[in-house]
Amino acid sequence: MPQELVYCIYGINVATSLPLPALKSPLPAEVSILRGSAPDILSAAFSANQKLQFDGHRVLLNQPLFGKLLIEKPGNITLDFNPSLSQAHTITALQGSGLGTLLHLRKQIPLHGMAIATDKGAIVVLADSGSGKSTLATAMLLANLSVFTDDIVALQSDKNGVLQIQPAHRRLKLSQSQLHTLGIDTSMLSNTAPGIEKIGWDIPEAQFAAVPMPIIKCLFLEPVKTNSANAHITAIGKLEAFQRLLQSVYRPRLIRVFDHEQSFFTLNQQLQHQCQSYTMQLPDLGHFPSLSDYGKAIANQLLSL
């Protein structure tokens, strides 16, 4: 049986025998990942949604691509997955649906986006699926910046009340073309889930942002591109920032299911007090000779904000 190790992912110390592409932690585990049998129905479930049931302490997720996940307070996650599911796909489900839902249960509202480390702190770029987060993460790596995540953004206040981004894990979800641009041989890599084209690739440790950092800028990525060779970045007011932040929550309906509206309002107040928010339209890649040049141009704009 593989050895169980403790990893720090999203600021949570997780014990598992799965080889997670995350930082190993010397601290005791807060969460245990187990393989076992999950029920089909939670006896006290008040959610009519067959894919998500919640009884106040436990969440049951039923996902056709993977199987069932039972997530319990304070910190057990039981994996009851399809027997044919590969280890790589199991890790995808755990790092996404499993731990993302656990963050909600812990009232640490996760966001959907990517983030980079700078000398002054972290810059967070929030965006919907398919809007270019992974392309931007790839470009930032080519610009020699460190990346926290390209999917789930986990935030936590330090002892002084400063909102910090927590390191996620080193696995990005990239396309074949993005990986080829990075010079990566994809022959030994796996897609992230059955039937999904994106491929899981682990950031080199030297370019993984491994230390929590305070957030210094928050940008909301627009789906449309600019017609120039520069990103169009515009500062926005508090009301628009609030609305966009709500749209950027990872699985936003869980706020209502778990009755965590107050946690979201607190997060919004902290973020708006701490940093300016912006919208950003990225230029089309066709304006640049390479993804590396694109990355350097965008990085210079972000660092000069």
**Beta pairing partners, 72:** 58, 76
Lowest mean pLDDT among 7-16, 172-181, 208-217: 172-181
Indicate whether 51 pLDDT > 80.
yes
How far apart, in Å, do the first and last CA atoms of the chain sit? 50
Closest C-alpha to 212, from 30, 25, 17: 25
What local confidence, expressed as pLDDT, does residue 218 receive? 98
**What is the per-residue pLDDT for 70?**
96
Q: Determine the Cα–Cα distance for residues 202 and 218; give it in Å rounded to an integer.
A: 25
Q: What is the rounded distance in angstroms from the CA atom of residue 244 to the CA atom of residue 246?
A: 5
Tens-digit pLDDT profile for residues 184-201: 999 999 999 888 899 999
Predicted local distance difference test score (pLDDT) of residue 278? 98
Q: Which residue is listed with tokens 């969460």?
A: 31
Is residue 51 a contact partner of residue 69, using CB atoms and an 8 Å limit?
no
Render pLDDT for 99-111 as a digit per residue (tens, 0 to 9).
999 999 999 999 9
In this prediction, residues 6-34 reach a mean pLDDT of: 96
In the prediction, which pLDDT does 18 show? 96
What are 124-165's pLDDT values in tens digits? 999 987 777 888 999 999 999 999 999 999 999 999 999 999
Confidence of residue 48 (pLDDT cuts 50, 70, 90): low
pLDDT at residue number 49 = 62
pLDDT attached to residue 42? 86
Those residues whose C-beta lies under 8 Å from the C-beta of residue 53, and which sit 6 or more positions away, are 41, 42, 45, 47, 59, 60
Residue 46 has pLDDT above 70, yes or no: no
Residue 57's pLDDT is: 86
Q: How high is the pLDDT of residue 47?
A: 57
- pLDDT of residue 304 exceeding 90, the answer is yes
At residue 181, the pLDDT reads 86
pLDDT digits (tens, 9 = 90+) for 221-272: 998 899 999 999 999 999 999 999 999 999 999 999 899 999 999 999 999 9
Tokens standing for residue 53: 């049931």
pLDDT of 183 > 70? The answer is yes
pTM of the model as a whole: 0.93
For residue 111, the model assigns a pLDDT of 97
Q: Which amino acid is at 269?
A: Q
What residue type is assigned to position 163 of the chain? Answer: L
Q: Return d(Cα 71, Cα 31) in angstroms, integer.
A: 10
Number of CB atoms found within 10 A of residue 22's CB: 24
CA distances from 160 to 163, 218, 270 (A): 9, 20, 12
pLDDT of residue 182: 87
Helix axes 291-303, 133-142, angle to 10 degrees: 90
Average pLDDT, the chain: 92
pLDDT surpassing 90 at residue 178: no
